[in-house]
Each structure stands twice: as structure tokens, then as C-alpha cells.
Amino acid sequence: MTVITRFAPSPTGTLHVGNIRTALHNWLFARAKGGKFLLRIDDTDRERSQEHFVESIRADLGWLGLVPDAEERQSERFDRYEARFAELVASGRIYPAYETTQELDLKRKVLLGRGLPPVYDRAALALSDQDRATYEAEGKAPHWRFRLDHAAPIAWDDCVRGPQRFDPALLSDPVIRRADGSWLYLLPSVIDDVDMGVTHVVRGEDHVSNTATQLQMFEAMGAAPPSFAHEALLIGAEGKLSKRLGSLGVEHFREIGIEPQALVALLARIGTSDPVEPFADPAPLIASFDFGRFGRAPARFDEAELAALNARIVHQLPFAAVAERLPAGMGSQAWDAIRPNLSTVADAQDWWQVVEGPIAPAEVSAEDRVFLAEATTVAAQIDWATDPWPALTGALKEMTGRKGRALFLPLRLALTGREHGPDMAALLPLIGRDRALARLATD
């Protein structure tokens, strides 16, 4: 069996971190099983779906490295839904209903008032042909419901949540089509999953009760249902469902210098029993991916953790991976020297400025001024072709008796204008003889 997963966003907005996580898990599972990962654009809602969101979804997945093996669009499949719908109407599994929203609200309120579950009473099933003809004559178009079979409990073994059981009598027959003919998501999704051979539906746990009704739709169409994995929701660092998470997308992460690998490494592991690790390559994440490691408690998304992970990933990135984002003239030797000090690739700009100058001259005490004058003399004499830093500091140590901080800090301050930074042995060759001499000569 070839595993086929799908990520099925509605193009009514850009992807947020929760969607990204779902897409990632679908991709990781497909890759782990040597299967296929589909992108299915759920664009049945023609008014709310927008082409620029489709494009941004594709671009975001591309940036993350989650490239789909194929793309499907629901808006190209209306004929197919129509045909399946007609079959299910003919077999009595889909029926027309005429209640208005107000009538349905009232029914719900009455039931809730009596302490009963607000399940649809199936009044529409009791309508006679004559009743329906009257409604139609009045110009009332029906919406359509899928008739659940109450005979046996609905059960499945969820890849994340384990055995699940629903009493269908406690579920309303779901509305699958509106009076204007437009589709709700439930039925087209099942038709697609059947036609596209989807073997695993991986989505958020907010869909668990949809799965109960959709399982009966698979059955009604004579199709074997896929496996389901419902992942626990994502919460913010403060431990709550947060509005902020709904607004955090690729654009924001790019803007603050987050690498796609950092987002992937974090979202692959939070909410699982595996540790978050700074993988710059997804191979180990694919190899270790297992729904059995997912917990049922919400996964906590902490932006500070993402930033720290990002730094650890930046430290591993080879020059070739970042070259086009570096300041002009900055080569691989400079990247290797500066990389360990970066939180984001964009920060390389600051250190490149330190190399190239000009830098703001540091405040120097009278005593250090004398020392730096000696350093200038020594720097003019050492061999700059190989390892100037040990040559400079070695000679100065001998001349002045200074060591440790007293030896290194004034040099670092004069040469870089800063107290901290990359390893001076790696930085000094980049600064080079001429600039170094000018910076050491403080008078």
C-alpha cells in the first residue's frame, strides 16, 4: 500500500503556524513511508476563496520545503460531487430539509432548555411528497442532510488518540449542502479522499466529530475509510489557545529571520515525546516520525524556543546555503568566522560592518593607550599571511607581561569596537593588516 496524505487548506487566508504544523506532519508521514503528499485546495466557497491565497499557500509550503507531489482543487471537481450526491440522494442517505436558521435555533434552544443534547430531530425525514411539493411551490429551496445510520456505534482506532467511539444517535445528521447549492466541507472531502486514494487523514482534533460522520459517508459510498490521526491543538507559550498563533505565518517568521528548518524542527517535535533538536536537515525528523510519539495534551509553541533553535540552526548552515543573503563581498571564510555569533542570518550584516568598517572608536584608558601603541608597532612587524592573531598576542604578551583579559580585551575593543564577538583568530585575518593598524593606532 502506498501511503497518501493530503493537506487541505481553504484559500481564505494565509497559513498560520497551526496549519503549517498540520501540513508538516502530513509531509513527514508521507516521506517516512515513501508515500505521496497531496496539496488539496478546498475552494468550494467561491466567494471567500481567493487566488492570491492559493499562491501564498504554495509559496509558503515551498519556503518550508514541504513541496507537494501533486495538487488538487475542489473547484475543478463540482461535477464529481454532483454525481456522488445524486447517488446518495437516490439511495436515501441524503435528504432535503427546509427549516430556516431561526427554526433550527429555536429547536436547539428548546432541547438545551430541557437539558437534552441539541440533536436535529429529523423532522424533514417525516415530510411527505406533498409537503415538499408545497415548499417548492412556495419557492423554498432545501438544504441537504446526510442521514446517519443509528444502528451501530461509530468507532475507529485513531493513530494519535487511540480507540474512539461515538453514538450516532447523539449526532445531528450533518448538513452537507446549502440551499443555494454550495457545498459544506464534509462530503466533498470524503469524495476526494476516496477518489485520490488517501490512506491517512492527518488533521487537528477539532475535526474528531466530523470524522465520526465522515466515516459513515465512506461506508455509504462503499469505500474503505482511511486511517485518521487527530493531533492535539497548538497553544501559546502562556499555555492558552492564543489568537496570536492564528496570525503568525511564514511572512512574520521570515521577517524576524527564522529559517524554515527551525520552524520545521520545532513543529515536528512539540507535543511529542521526542526532544526538540536543531536539525538543519529534515532526514532525522522523517526517520523518527511516529504518531505513537504524539501526546494528547496540547502542543506548546514558544517563540523564544523557536528563536533559540533558529540560532543553533544558523550556526550549522554552510556558506552556500546563505551566500545570496549575505552582504556583498562577504565570503565563506567570513561566514565561518561570524556564523557562531549569529541569531539570524541577517545579523551577519552587523559583523561584516565590523570587518569592513568604519567602526566607532572605543573608549580607551591612558594605560591601554600605551599598550595599544605597542600593539601597533608589533602589528606592523608580524606576518599577516598566516595566523596574525596568535602572532600579535604572543609577541605582546612577551613584551608587556599582560595576559588574559588585560591582554585580549583592549585589542578586541580597538579592533572591533565591541567587547564581545567572534573568535579574534578568525576575525583578524578578515580585518586585515591595513585596517587593523589604523584601528590600533588610537592617537
Residues 166-185 that bind ligand GLU (CB under 6 A): 185
Query: Considering the complex, what minimum distance in angstroms separates the CB of residue 218 from ligand GLU?
Result: 13
| Alpha-carbon distances, residue 146 vs 26, 82, 149 (angstroms) | 28, 14, 9
Query: Considering the complex, what minimum distance in angstroms separates the CB of residue 32 from ligand GLU?
Result: 19
Alpha-carbon distance 238 to 247, whole Å?
16
**Residue selected from 14, 49, 189, 272 as contacting ligand GLU according to rule CB under 6 A:** 189
Cis (ω within 30 of 0) for the bond into 390? no
Task: Name the segment binding ligand GLU (CB under 6 A); options: 142-150, 166-174, 201-209, 293-301.
Answer: 201-209
Alpha-carbon distance 36 to 395, whole Å?
63
Task: Name the segment binding ligand GLU (CB under 6 A); options: 3-11, 283-291, 336-344, 346-354.
Answer: 3-11
Residue nearest ligand GLU by beta-carbon distance: 42
Task: Point out which residues pair with 183 in neighbouring strands.
Answer: 177
Of the pair 19, 310, the CB lying nearest ligand GLU is at 19
Is 9 a residue that touches ligand GLU (CB under 6 A)?
A: yes
Helix (H) or strand (E) holding 200: strand 200-204
Query: Considering the complex, what minimum distance in angstroms separates the CB of residue 143 from ligand GLU?
Result: 20
Task: Name the segment binding ligand GLU (CB under 6 A); options: 5-13, 48-56, 99-107, 330-338.
Answer: 5-13
Alpha-carbon distance 51 to 413, whole Å?
54
| Alpha-carbon distances, residue 96 vs 86, 129, 145, 219 (angstroms) | 12, 11, 6, 20
Alpha-carbon distance 415 to 201, whole Å?
58
DSSP string, 295-336: -SSPEEE-HHHHHHHHHHHHTT--HHHHGGGSPTT--HHHHH
In this structure, which amino acid lies at residue 151?
Answer: A
Is 408 a residue that touches ligand GLU (CB under 6 A)?
A: no
Query: Considering the complex, what minimum distance in angstroms separates the CB of residue 207 from ligand GLU?
Result: 6
| Terminal alpha carbon distance of the chain | 77
Query: Considering the complex, what minimum distance in angstroms separates the CB of residue 185 from ligand GLU?
Result: 5
Do the Cβ atoms of 36 and 4 come closer than 8 Å?
yes
Task: Point out which residues pair with 72 in neighbouring strands.
Answer: 40
Residues 16-75 that bind ligand GLU (CB under 6 A): 42
Query: Considering the complex, what minimum distance in angstroms separates the CB of residue 204 from ligand GLU?
Result: 8
Query: Considering the complex, what minimum distance in angstroms separates the CB of residue 25 from ligand GLU?
Result: 11
Tally: H helices and E strands in the chain: 19, 12
- Total residues interacting with ligand GLU, rule: CB under 6 A: 9
Instruction: Please list, residue by residue across 156-186, b when 16 or more beta carbons sit within 10 angstroms of its beta carbon and e when fewer do.
Output: bebbbbeebebebeebbbbbbbeeeeebbbb
Q: Which three cell numbers stand for residue 2?
A: 502506498
Query: Considering the complex, what minimum distance in angstroms separates the CB of residue 190 from ligand GLU?
Result: 9
Task: Point out which residues pair with 165 in neighbouring strands.
Answer: 155
Residues 204-223 that bind ligand GLU (CB under 6 A): 207
Task: Name the segment binding ligand GLU (CB under 6 A); options: 6-14, 77-85, 131-139, 366-374.
Answer: 6-14
3-state secondary structure of 146: strand
Of the pair 213, 261, the CB lying nearest ligand GLU is at 213
Binding track, positions 357-376, relative to ligand GLU; x by CB under 6 A: --------------------
Is 414 a residue that touches ligand GLU (CB under 6 A)?
A: no
Neighbouring C-alpha atoms within 13 Å toward the C-beta of 247? 3
**Residue selected from 143, 145, 203, 439 as contacting ligand GLU according to rule CB under 6 A:** 203
Task: Name the segment binding ligand GLU (CB under 6 A); options: 4-12, 52-60, 101-109, 409-417.
Answer: 4-12
Of the pair 31, 203, the CB lying nearest ligand GLU is at 203
**Residue numbers of the site for ligand GLU (CB under 6 A)?**
8-10, 42, 185, 189, 201, 203, 207
